[in-house]
Structure 1
Amino acid sequence: MRVRPQLKPISVVQRPAEVILVGRALEATYLDDVDGSVTALLRLLAEGRHTIAELPAALRALGFEVGEADVADAVRALDEVGVLLRAGSDDDLDPATRRRHESNLRFYDLFAGLHRTSTDFHRAMAAADVLLLGAGGMGSGILQSLIGLGVGWVRLVDFDTVEEKNLARQFAYGRDDVGRTKVDAARDWAARYSPGGTVVEAVHERVTDVASIRRLGAGASLVICAIDSPDDVHLLVNEACFDLGVPFVTGGLQYSTMFYWSVEPGVSACRRCLELNRQDEAATMPALLDRSVVLPAGRANRATGPVAQLLAGLVTLEAGRYLTRTDPPVAAGVYHTVELADGMATVRSPWPRHPDCPLCARVAPARSAAALSTAG
C-alpha cells in the first residue's frame, strides 16, 4: 500500500532554528530546524501528495539533501507524537457515508495516525452492538448520540411510556408520542432520523436481575446503564457484564451532583470493589453511622434538558472510547462528578480494586487494556 503521510491541520510556529507544532491544547512538539529542512518537510507533509519514498526527491527539489533513512525516521517520529494522518483514507468509504459522517471522521482525526485511520475508527463504531438500558432523559439522549455516531445496533430496553412531562428533556419524543411505549417511539424516531443507519431493537421490559441483563446483553460490545431502579441496578449490571465480558458505562444525577463512571471487567476496579471499599471506610467511622435520619431525602427528577444532554454526551463519549479505542477510557474505575449548583466544580475520584472482590478475582489479570486495543 502506498501510504501518503499528511500533516494534521495543526498550527506550525517557526522560530530561529526551531519549529513548534501546536495541536491539542495541552501538547506542543519542539523540533530543531537549523537549516529549514524540517519546515520544508512539514510543508510537503501538509500537502499529503507524496509517499515516504517520494519525499526525499521532493526535498531535493526544494534544495535540501536529506537521506531516505532520515526522512523515514522523521515521518515515524512525527507519527509517534500524533501529528500525521494517512492521506486519502476517507476514500475507503462510499460517498454517502463520507458525507453523513464528515464531522465524526474529523473528530477521529484527533486520534488517527498512519497505522489506524479515522475510517478504521468509524468502522469499529459501525460494527458495534450496544445494550442501552433506559430511554428516559439520559437514555434517549445517549440513543440520539449513538445514532449520530453511526453505531451499528442498539438494543433499547425500557418499561415506561411517554408522558407530557418527558418532553422537557427527552427530545426523541414529540407530543404525538404521549402514551406510547418509549422504546417504540424511540425506535420510530431513529428510523426517521437515520433511515438505513443504526438498527434499534425495541424491548419493552423491566430490568430486575442479573439474568435478565445477561440475556439482553448477549452479543453486545458494551452495556450502557441509564436507569436507576432497582436500587442495586449498578451492582446487577456490574455482575452481568463480568459474565458477558464487556465494559459498561453509567451516569446520573443525585440532587445537584451529576456523575458518570465506567467499568472494564478484568482491567479496572469494578462497582463491587467500590461497594466493598465503602464498607471498609464505614467500619472505620462508627461515629458517623451513629445517627438517625429524621427526614429521608426525597426523590425528584431535576434533570433539565441541558443537564440531560450534557450527561448523555459525557456518557456517550466514554462509550465511544470503548467501542473505537481512540484513547483509553477516562472513567474506568473513576467517579467523575459535576456540581451543578456549586459553580460547576468537577472532581475525579478513582477507587482501587478491592482484594476481596469475588468478581475481579475470577478474571485473569493478563486480560489488559492493551490486549483489547483491537476490540471492535
Structure 2
Amino acid sequence: MRPQLKRLSWERVGDRLRLVYDPRDQFLLADPDGSVEKLLTLLDEGGRTAEELADVLTADVADVQAAVQALNAHGLVEDGDRLGGLDPHEGERHFSNLAFFESFATLERSHEDLRRRLRESHVLVLGSGGLNSTVIPHLAGLGVGRLTLLDRDLVDPRNFARQYLYRWDDVGARKVTRAAEWVRAFDPTIEVDTIDASIEDPAQLAELIDRTRPDVVAAGIDQPDSVDLWVNEACVRHGVPFVRGGFLVTTGAVWSVDPGVSACRACVPEDPVDLASYTDPDESTLNAISAMRLHLSRPRPNRGIGPVVGLLGSYAAFEVLRYLTRFEPPAHAGRPLVLDFARGCEANHPDEWQRNPDCAVCGGR
C-alpha cells in the first residue's frame, strides 16, 4: 500500500495547519515542528509505503501508520497502488465521475475501484418511459456497463411532456428499441439488451430476474396493479435490490428494498384503501383511506411533467448508484422519500416501513 493524499489544500496558521478538502469541512492540526506538513507533502507526491515515509521523515513506522489511518478516517487519503489502472480514454470519459468518487474513496477502495464496479454492473430497467426515461440517461452517464431494458409501449405524443429519450420522428416506434439506440449512440461501450414485452404475472417476472441476474432493478412500471409486489417478491427471493419511484397528483415518492436488510414492500399494506390491512385505525387514518378511495374512483390522468419526473428519476438513479457501489448506504431502503410539489418540492421521509418478522416474502431473511 502506498497512501496517496487526495486533492487537499492546506495552509499554516501559526503552529497549526488548516486542511480543506470539502469547503464544508476543515481540520486544524497541531504542527509546531512542521512534521505534519512534511508528511502531507510526501503523501501529496505519493508513491511511498509507510516504511519509506518513515525513513524520509526519520520517524517511527507505527507513528506514520497511525497518522495515515487518522487521515483515512477523515476521507483524506486513498491507496496509490489502486490507481492508474484505467486507460486514458476511460479516464477522460469518466473524468467527472472519478472526481466525484474521489470524495468517497479510502485506503480500502479507490475512486478507480468505484468506477470499475460500475463498469462491471448490470441494471435491469423495467419501463423506459416516465421515471426511467430520466433514470436511463443517468445510468448511461455514470457508465453502468450493462443495461437490460424492458418496455411494451410505442412512443406517443403524450410522452413528450416528460420523456426526453425520444424525438418526434420516433412517434409510433417501439420505445424499448429507441431507448436502446439512444444509449448505444450516447456511449457505444455500454452493452444494451432489450425485452419488448409487458409483465403479465409473478412467474414471468421471477423468471426474468433469474435469467438476467441483474445487480439492481430500477422499477418504473405501474401495471398491473400488483406489479410492485411481484417485483418485490422476485427481487427479495433472488437477493436483488430494487428501486421504485412514483407520482400521485402533487406528491412523488422514491423508495427501495434492500433484501435481508430493510423492510420489503410486502411488509406494508398491499392495498392502501383496504381497511382489513389496518389494525385499529385512528380517525386520521380512516380519513386518509376515504380520501384515497374517493380519488381512485375516477380515471387518473398522467400529470407527470418533465421537472417532476426529472427530480424523481434523479433521486432514483442516485439510489441505484448507492446499491451498485455502496459508496454510502441506501438512503430510501424501506424509508420512502416523499417530494411535495405543491410546497416548493419539499423533501422528507415521513414514514419508515416496519419490518414484519412474519412477512411471507422477507420474514426470516
The two structures have a TM-score, normalised by structure 1, of 0.86
Deviation, structure 1 residue 289: 3.3
Structure 2 CA distance for aligned equivalents of residues 81 and 276 of structure 1? 43
Whether the aligned pair in 1 keeps the contact of 2:269 and 2:278 (CA below 8 Å) is no
Rounded Cα–Cα distance in structure 2 between residues aligned with 1:187 and 1:123: 22
- Map 1:316-335; keep pairs closer than 5 Å: 316-335=317-336
Task: Note if 1:255 corresponds to 2:249.
Answer: yes
In 2, Cα distance between equivalents of 1:169 and 1:309: 8
CA-to-aligned-CA distance 1:59-79 (integer Å, 9 cap, x gap): 3xxxxx532221121112211
The answer for the alignment partner of 2:30 in structure 1 is: 32
Among candidates 343, 358, 362, match of residue 360 of structure 2: 358
What is the alpha-carbon distance in structure 2 between the residues aligned to residue 6 and residue 143 of structure 1?
Answer: 34
Code of the residue aligned with 1:341 in structure 2: it is: A
Distance 1:26 1:267, change over 3 A: farther
Q: Is the 8 A contact 1:137 1:308 kept in 2?
A: yes
Mapping of residues 196-275 of structure 1, within 5 Å: 197-218=189-210, 219-275=213-269
- The aligned residue for residue 286 of structure 2 is 289
Aligned counterparts of 2:11 and 2:345: Cα–Cα separation in 1: 35
Counterpart position of 1:87:
80
The alpha-carbon distance between structure 1 residues 113 and 289, as it changes in their structure 2 partners (threshold 3 A), is closer
Shift of residue 317, structure 1, vs aligned partner:
1.1
The Cα offsets for residues 72-120 of structure 1, whole Å up to 9 and x where unpaired, read as 2111221122111233744211222111111111111111122211221
C-alpha change, 1:82 and 1:302, in structure 2 (3 Å) is: same
Identity of aligned residues (%): 39
Q: Which residue identity lines up with residue 361 of structure 1 in the other structure? A: G
CA distance in 2: counterparts of 1:230 and 1:93, whole angstroms: 44
- Residue 276 of structure 1 deviates from its aligned partner by 7.2
SS at match of 1:223: strand
Distance 1:71 1:286, change over 3 A: closer
Q: Deviations over 1:254-281 (max 9, x none)?
A: 1111211110111111111122797788
TM superposition shift of 1:27: 4.7
Matched-pair contact (CA < 8 Å) for 2:356–2:363: no
- The structure-2 alpha-carbon separation of the partners of 1:352 and 1:280, relative to structure 1 and needing over 3 Å to count, comes to farther
Shift of 1:329: 0.8
Instruction: Please say if residues 357 and 364 of structure 2, whose CA atoms lie closer than 8 Å, have aligned partners that are also in contact.
Output: no
Aligned to 1:366: none
Tell whether the 8 Å contact from 1:157 to 1:202 is kept in structure 2 after alignment. Answer: yes
Return the offset for 1:49: 4.4
Matched residues in 1 for 2:181 and 2:199: separation? 22
Which residue is 1:134 aligned to? 127
Tell me what 2:314 maps to: 313
User: Matches of 1:304 and 1:343 in 2, distance apart?
Assistant: 15
State how far apart, in whole Å, the 2-side matches of 1:144 and 1:330 are: 21
Q: How does 1:362-373 map to 2 (within 5 A)?
A: 362-363=364-365
Matches within 5 A, 1:330-349: 330-348=331-349, 349=351
The normalised TM-score by structure 2 is 0.89
CA change 1:236–1:281 in 2 (3 A) is: closer
SS in 2 for 1:262: strand
Q: Distance in 1 between matches of 2:64 and 2:333?
A: 39
CA-atom RMSD, angstroms?
2.5
Q: Measure, in 2, the Cα distance between the counterparts of 1:273 and 1:30.
A: 47
After TM superposition, the runs of 4+ consecutive aligned structure 1 residues lying more than 6 A away are 276-281
Q: Distance in 2 between matches of 1:93 and 1:164?
A: 42
- In structure 1, runs of 5+ residues without a counterpart are 60-64, 364-376
Q: Secondary structure at the match of 2:131?
A: helix
